[in-house]
């Protein structure tokens, strides 16, 4: 471990320290040591502030809805670890290496954090290929939820699922580990700025090429081809299959991944392996990467399983919801249907027919919306897919009959009851009329507050209405400049905070949903993949307006109200003011969120709160915050003790006030003085130290009345104490007869003052960073008896406590501290300290008189109200 310490030290500091100059005088040597210690201390404070800022950024990320990925966590953990190491180096340099044990505490915490960051899903032992009949909902960790749910449905006798098999998580790991592919993918991702879409697009392209060019493990290839041959035995020779993603994490309640991955249709035996790799490569499409980032998934969390199912020659197909996705109180079933395959419906390129069915007490059709159908995707006898123009009668005919709609509604109820939550279901009807279930996943419904707002009275809006109508795919109200997107290339230009306006509700637009405040389309329905994702993200979406791209002008400010299904010109203030706050926490509860939360348990909790506690030791440091707190406490103490022990310095400049040399020595640490000055003297105008000047202002703001009148008992007390205490003898070289000294820099001051029979030390650091600011005040001595000295200290304590100082009294001396106040507040308290230092001298002589004590307390508070008006009231 210490080898690591030396290596990092060499990187950060390089050159060796210069050895002391043997010709230096004792005073020069003291000054030099203190100067070195001070600059180490200032560097220490800077590092300390950086650590606290990193902690704050990590905590804000956890509390807010900011998007962040594993790169954010790893980078911040690395930064804070290096900074903690530097902090430990500084405290050891300041203290003469008395805190070497802190390196052990750092190593222990760092090990625990690295264990979290380096966790990976273990390769799941099992077969690379499984038949759909071999799996159920408990197989999700090995097959993905999509295929696991279909395996579960196979066991329900009233429902039909196409024959098929799944290429499992074991197969995915086998593929990635063959040829070091995962390492190459990681290198591509680590160099990417996730917010830079162009850079992300290049990485996406590079990774997909890597996957397509990578060889497949012979064992895996054999297992996939064998699975296909077994499927032929159950269906027919040369059966065509669909290959769909069934990734771990896909089709969950909060993260559907709808339309984010790749699907291959009509796949033959000869293209099976190529198509498998295309589905795997789809994990790294631009839209899939951004979706994972926005939802807080780590790349390693997504294991891509692939479902292979016999193609269905569908005459009609679509998506149905067992509950209304736009109204949590509506118990009706929504069925969306198109002719042919449902690809066009889920991609949002056409508007499907809508059937609304009741479920209690009997299922019946309540409402129908039949749309014009220009084309459909059909499968012909050669098993090839074709998009065909529909003949005139079929354009206006419903995609399914009422009886078929009722039958579908019954199946929706069965699935909801079985999975015990509302379902989002893909289905297809074959030529013979057999209904096949292709997918069933939890349905994402609107928030409660959106529902409540929908039920309120309409708000009067005076803005001009641009659009009226369409389908509310996702509820909400939002305002922003319109940005029309017609091609994939235009997503790179999409600005933050704009309204996405486009012809079709294509899944590829999910790439820019993290920037959009709302979505408006010409075509598309609530069953499409884009609609599902907008609901997940809490982004208002108005689809199927038919004229959005014609009526909305690019760049104009618009307000989208999906509750009223309207788009207004300009900013509809009243509507925006009354509507519920938009947006859903997309990342809370996600794997990345959980990783950050676990990591922060070793970073931010503060266990060392009492510097006098038995656990306030290097061994007691359980977190990075503990180490930071411990180091700060010890660094300030080291500086304060050094300042007290440096009162004998006489090699500085003599302070001159009003042309009269004062008994003050000024020791400049580098930037505490300004302007031209004589060799051995300095004037007030030369002082550049803000804390020194604040203390001086407090000392001189109110003229001292002189020594208080001494009563007989007070005078006798002084005489007795003078004969008993050697430190009070004027001829002795005691701490009470040393010259006053101010060791200063621009932000720092260590002021040692002797007034009569007592002395005080004020040390302070004041900057524009509140976390660095502190004041330590030390007060000792007096000429009277113990009771009178204690009462004076009690008087000072009572006043300081009013200004938030932490004060402790021990025998005949007192310590007072305050920290982490802003610059202005800290300087005000320094002025109050300067005042008390000047005006409490010789006050112990009259502390036997309660009336006089009360008088001075009232006077001091009134005088200090110059800087704290409220305290004097």
Pairing of strands 541-543, 516-521: parallel
Query: Residues 196, 323: one domain?
Result: no
Three-state SS at 501: strand
Instruction: For strands 516-521 and 498-502, give the pairing.
Output: parallel
Q: What is the mean pLDDT of the segment spanning 615-629?
A: 91
The per-residue pLDDT for 123 is: 39
Give residue 727's pLDDT.
37
Q: Which domain holds residue 149?
A: 129-310
pLDDT over 60 at 249, yes or no: yes
Tell me, yes or no, whether 349 lies in a domain: yes
Give the residue among 646, 650, 634, 633 at the shortest CA–CA distance from 750. 646
Q: What is the mean pLDDT of residues 586-604?
A: 82
**Residue 676 falls inside a structural domain:** yes
- N residues, the chain: 873
Has residue 729 got a pLDDT over 50? no
Q: What pLDDT score was predicted for residue 346?
A: 54
Residues 297, 330, single domain; the answer is no
- Give residue 844's pLDDT: 66
Say whether both 467 and 540 belong to one domain: yes
Which pLDDT band holds residue 651 (cuts at 50, 70, 90)? low
Q: Are residues 96 and 190 in the same domain?
A: no
pLDDT band at 17 (very low <50, low <70, confident <90, very high): very low
- Among 25-34, 369-378, 776-785, 859-868, which is the least confidently predicted range? 25-34
pLDDT of residue 503 exceeding 50, the answer is: yes
3-state secondary structure of 502: strand
Top mean-pLDDT range of 21-25, 46-50, 555-559:
555-559
Question: 831 and 772: one domain?
Answer: yes
- The pLDDT of residue 379 is 54
> Is residue 25 very low, low, confident or very high in pLDDT (cuts 50, 70, 90)?
low
13 lies in some domain: no
Which 3 state secondary structure label does DSSP give 368?
Answer: strand
Q: What is the pLDDT, as a whole number, of residue 24?
A: 52
Instruction: Name the phi and psi angles at 119, rounded to 5.
Output: -65, 140
CB crowding 745-762: b at 16 or more within 10 Å, else e: bbbbbbbbbbbbbbbbbb
Residue 457 in tokens:
């009275």
pLDDT, residue 455, reads: 46
**C-alpha span between 565 and 561 (Å, rounded):** 6
pLDDT digits (tens, 9 = 90+) for 742-769: 888 899 988 887 765 567 889 899 998 8
Question: Which tokens belong to 698?
Answer: 């407090």
Of 512, 509, 536, 590, the residue nearest 195 (C-alpha): 512
CATH, residue 234? 3.30.1490.20
Query: Which residue has 């320094």 as its token pair?
Result: 830
Residue 281 has pLDDT above 80, yes or no: yes
pLDDT band at residue 309, thresholds of 50, 70 and 90? very high
Higher per-residue pLDDT: 598 or 731: 598
Assess whether 682 and 823 both reside in one domain: yes
Mean of pLDDT values over 223-243? 93
Last residue in a domain, options 276, 292, 310 = 310
pLDDT at 16 over 50: no
Mean pLDDT of 606-622: 87
Q: Would you tell me how many other CB atoms lie within 10 Å of the CB of residue 131?
A: 17
pLDDT classification of 160: cutoffs 50, 70, 90: very high
The least confident of 25-29, 137-141, 173-177, 867-871 is 25-29
- pLDDT at residue 405, as a whole number: 93
CATH of the domain at 555: 3.50.30.10
In-domain check, residue 19: no
Identify the band that residue 347 occupies on the pLDDT scale cut at 50, 70 and 90. Answer: low
Residue 348, CA distances (Å) to 34, 301, 402, 502, 508 in order:
73, 29, 23, 11, 11
- The yes-or-no verdict on residue 137 having pLDDT over 50 is yes
Residue at 12 is within a domain:
no
- The per-residue pLDDT for 671 is 86
Alpha carbon distance 397, 545 (integer Å) = 21
CATH number at residue 410: 3.30.470.20
Q: Which two tokens stand for residue 40?
A: 């180490």
Cα separation, 469 vs 482, in Å, equals: 18
**Same domain? 135 vs 262:** yes
Residue 22: the pLDDT is 53
Residue 194 φ then ψ, to 5°: -60, -20
- Give tens-digit pLDDT for 444-454: 766 555 555 55
Residue 734's pLDDT is: 36
**Per-residue pLDDT, 231:** 95
- Average pLDDT for residues 233-256, to the nearest whole number? 78
- Mean pLDDT value across the chain: 80
Asked whether residue 143 falls in the same domain as residue 112, the answer is no
- Edge-first strand order for the sheet with 314-321 is 365-369, 353-357, 333-339, 314-321, 423-430, 435-442
Distance in angstroms (rounded) separating the CA atoms of residues 321 and 325? 7
What's the rounded Cα separation, in Å, for the pair 788 and 849? 9
pLDDT digits (tens, 9 = 90+) for 370-401: 887 766 555 544 555 556 676 777 778 898 99
Output the six-digit token pair for 445. Answer: 């419904």
In this predicted structure, the answer to whether residue 13 has a pLDDT above a threshold of 70 is no
Which of 81-85, 167-171, 222-226, 790-794 bottoms out in mean pLDDT, i.e. has the lowest? 790-794
More confident residue, 74 or 295: 74
Q: Is the pLDDT of residue 355 over 90?
A: yes
Q: Specify the DSSP element, H or E, that contains 183.
A: helix 181-190
277 versus 34: the higher-pLDDT residue is 277
Mean of the pLDDT values across residues 53-72? Answer: 76
Same domain assignment for residues 342 and 479: no
723 pLDDT exceeds 50? no
| Residue 632 within a domain | no
416 and 320 together in one domain = yes
Most confident of 59-73, 420-434, 785-799, 806-820: 420-434
Does 362 reside within a domain? yes
**380 shares its domain with 521:** no
Asked if residue 31 is part of any domain, the answer here is: yes
Tell whether the model's pLDDT for residue 850 goes beyond 60: yes
Residue 606, pLDDT > 60, answer: yes
**Total domain count, the chain:** 5
Question: 81 pLDDT exceeds 50?
Answer: yes
User: Do residues 778 and 841 share a domain?
Assistant: yes
Name the more confident of 588 and 693. 693
Is the pLDDT at 51 greater than 60? The verdict is yes
H or E segment and range at residue 682: strand 681-683
Quick check: 649 pLDDT over 90?
no
């Amino acid at each position: 471990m210490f080898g690591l310490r030396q290596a990092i030290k060499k990187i950060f500091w390089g050159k060796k320290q210069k050895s002391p100059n043997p010709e230096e005088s004792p005073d020069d040597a003291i000054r030099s040591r203190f100067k070195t210690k001070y600059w180490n201390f200032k560097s220490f404070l800077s590092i300390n502030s950086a650590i606290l800022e990193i902690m704050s950024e990590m905590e804000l990320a956890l509390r807010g809805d900011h998007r962040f990925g594993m790169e954010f966590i790893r980078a911040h953990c690395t930064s804070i670890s290096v900074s903690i190491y530097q902090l430990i180096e500084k405290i050891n340099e300041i203290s003469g290496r008395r805190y070497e044990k802190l390196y052990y505490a750092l190593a222990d915490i760092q090990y625990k954090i690295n264990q979290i960051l380096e966790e990976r899903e273990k390769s799941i032992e099992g077969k690379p290929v499984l038949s759909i009949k071999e799996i159920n909902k408990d197989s999700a960790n090995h097959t993905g939820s999509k295929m696991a749910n279909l395996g579960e449905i196979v066991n329900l006798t009233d429902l039909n699922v196409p024959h098929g098999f799944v290429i499992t998580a074991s197969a995915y790991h086998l593929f990635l580990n063959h040829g070091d592919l995962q390492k190459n993918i990681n290198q591509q991702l680590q160099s990417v700025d996730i917010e830079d879409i162009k850079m992300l697009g290049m990485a996406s392209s590079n990774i997909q090429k890597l996957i397509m060019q990578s060889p497949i493990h012979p064992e895996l290839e054999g297992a996939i081809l064998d699975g296909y041959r077994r499927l032929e035995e159950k269906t027919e020779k040369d059966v065509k299959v669909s290959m769909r993603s069934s990734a771990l994490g896909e089709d969950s309640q909060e993260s559907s991944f709808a339309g984010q991955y790749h699907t291959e249709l009509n796949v033959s035996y000869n293209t099976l392996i190529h198509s498998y790799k295309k589905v795997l490569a789809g994990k790294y499409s631009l839209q899939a990467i951004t979706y994972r980032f926005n939802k807080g998934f780590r790349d390693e969390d997504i294991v891509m399983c692939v479902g292979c199912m016999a193609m269905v020659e569908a005459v009609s197909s679509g998506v149905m919801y067992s509950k209304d996705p736009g109204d949590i109180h509506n118990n009706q079933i929504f069925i969306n249907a198109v002719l042919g395959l449902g690809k066009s419906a889920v991609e949002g390129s056409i508007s499907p027919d809508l059937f609304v069915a009741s479920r209690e007490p009997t299922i019946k059709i309540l409402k129908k919306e039949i749309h014009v159908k220009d084309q459909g995707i059909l499968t012909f006898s050669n098993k090839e897919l074709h998009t065909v123009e529909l003949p005139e009668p079929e354009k206006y005919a419903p995609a399914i009959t009422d009886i078929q709609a009722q039958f579908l509604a019954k199946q929706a109820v069965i699935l909801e009851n079985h999975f015990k939550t509302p379902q989002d279901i893909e289905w297809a009807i074959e030529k013979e009329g057999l209904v096949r279930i292709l997918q069933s996943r939890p349905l994402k419904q609107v928030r409660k507050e959106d529902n409540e707002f929908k039920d309120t009275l309409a708000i009067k809006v005076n803005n001009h209405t641009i659009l009226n109508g369409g389908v509310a795919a996702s509820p909400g109200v939002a305002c922003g400049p319109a940005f029309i997107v017609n091609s994939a290339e235009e997503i790179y230009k999409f600005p933050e905070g704009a309204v996405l306006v486009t012809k079709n509700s294509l899944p590829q637009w999910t790439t820019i949903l993290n920037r959009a405040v709302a979505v408006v389309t010409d075509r598309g329905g609530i069953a499409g993949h884009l609609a599902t994702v907008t609901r997940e993200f809490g982004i208002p979406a108005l689809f199927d307006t038919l004229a959005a791209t014609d009526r909305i002008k690019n760049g104009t400010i618009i307000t989208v109200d999906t509750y009223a299904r309207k788009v207004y010109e300009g900013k509809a203030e009243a509507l925006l003011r009354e509507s519920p706050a938009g947006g859903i926490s997309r990342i809370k509860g996600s794997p990345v969120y959980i990783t950050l939360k676990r990591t922060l348990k070793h970073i931010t909790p503060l266990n060392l709160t009492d510097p006098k506690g038995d656990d306030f030791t290097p061994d007691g440091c359980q977190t990075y915050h503990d180490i930071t707190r411990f180091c700060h406490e010890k660094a300030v103490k080291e500086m304060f003790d050094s300042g007290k022990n440096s009162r004998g310095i006489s090699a500085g400049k003599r302070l001159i006030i009003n042309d009269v040399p004062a008994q003050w020595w000024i020791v400049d640490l580098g930037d505490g003085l300004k302007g031209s000055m004589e060799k051995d003297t300095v004037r007030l105008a030369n002082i550049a130290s803000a804390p020194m000047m604040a203390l001086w202002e407090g000392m001189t703001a109110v003229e001292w009345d002189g020594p208080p009148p001494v009563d007989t008992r007070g005078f006798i007390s002084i005489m007795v104490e003078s004969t008993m205490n050697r430190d009070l003898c004027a001829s002795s070289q005691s701490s009470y007869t040393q010259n006053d000294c101010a060791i200063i820099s621009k932000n720092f001051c260590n002021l040692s003052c002797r007034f009569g029979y007592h002395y005080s030390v004020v040390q302070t650091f004041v900057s524009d960073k509140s976390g660095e600011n502190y004041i330590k005040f030390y007060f000792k001595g007096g000429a009277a008896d113990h009771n009178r000295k204690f009462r004076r200290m009690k008087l000072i304590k009572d006043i300081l406590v009013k200004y938030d100082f932490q004060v402790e009294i021990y025998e005949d001396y007192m310590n007072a501290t305050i920290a982490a106040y802003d610059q202005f507040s800290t300087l005000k308290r320094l002025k109050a300290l300067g005042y008390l230092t000047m005006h409490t001298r010789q006050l112990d002589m009259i502390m036997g008189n309660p009336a006089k004590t009360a008088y001075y307390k009232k006077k001091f508070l009134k005088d200090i109200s110059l800087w704290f008006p409220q305290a004097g009231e």
